[in-house]
Amino acid sequence: MYGTGLLKGLGITLKHTFEREITQQYPEQMPVLPARFRGNLQLDFQDCIACEMCTKVCPNGVLSLESVRDDKTNKKKLMSYSIDFQYCMYCNFCVENCPKHCLHFDHNFELAAYDRENIKKVYQRPQELVTDLPEEIVAAEEKNQKRISVMIGALQKDAPKILGKLLEDEEKGKVLAAALASDQDKLEKIAVMMVEDIEKAKKVAGALANKAAKDHPKEGNVVA
């Protein structure tokens, strides 16, 4: 009969009108997540014994760490811990196999990032735990921190020149300096890389410069 479909549709609409609402007004209204929901992976740095069990069981190579051995106690001390979260498949192997229970997933599901390097989380040994290390390592760490502070200062003073030298291209250096002028956090990350791994710094700075040139083509920037 003509109009049966319409009546059926109206019937369904009417039925749902009086049901309990299930649509949530995200992001104003945050969802209530199950207790075992896996969001962002977190590390309790002070509890980690650098046993590397987590890095061995991770099927996707998400986790990596750096440690030093204290010759007096013959125990390893964690220096830094990286989680390259873009490759994580939430299998929970790392959490289940950690003997010190220092890995856990929190409920944060808003993990999207514009840049790949912002997805990777790197934990550095906190300053209050540095004194816990063997003397020679404390001295080396202090020296490293000083070099990083000097590099940050130099970049803040004359970023176009220093970045131009790093990229072996003055123009690219200027483009990148302009792009980083309002991003102190990224500038500091580049300073750390320039001290600790110059090849990586070149690679990251080059990629950022190309991206900045693409994003602002009107300013006469050229993408290599």
- Interacting residues with ligand SF4 (CB under 6 A): 41, 43, 48-54, 57-60, 62-63, 65, 88-94, 98-100, 102-103
Q: What are phi and psi of 166, to 5 degrees?
A: -60, -45
Smallest distance from the beta carbon of 128 to ligand SF4, in angstroms?
A: 18
Work out the burial of residue 211: count CB atoms within 10 Å of its CB; fewer than 13 is exposed, 13-18 middle, 19 or more buried: middle
Comparing CB distances to ligand SF4, the nearer of 59 and 126 is 59
Cα 109 from Cα 111, distance rounded (Å): 6
Comparing CB distances to ligand SF4, the nearer of 62 and 162 is 62
Smallest distance from the beta carbon of 56 to ligand SF4, in angstroms?
A: 9
Smallest distance from the beta carbon of 169 to ligand SF4, in angstroms?
A: 37
Residues in a beta bridge with 122: 82
Comparing CB distances to ligand SF4, the nearer of 16 and 101 is 101
Please give the order of strands across the beta sheet that includes 63-70: 63-70, 75-84, 120-124
Comparing CB distances to ligand SF4, the nearer of 70 and 171 is 70
Smallest distance from the beta carbon of 63 to ligand SF4, in angstroms?
A: 5
Quick one: which of 212, 190, 213, 211 has its CA closest to 202? 190
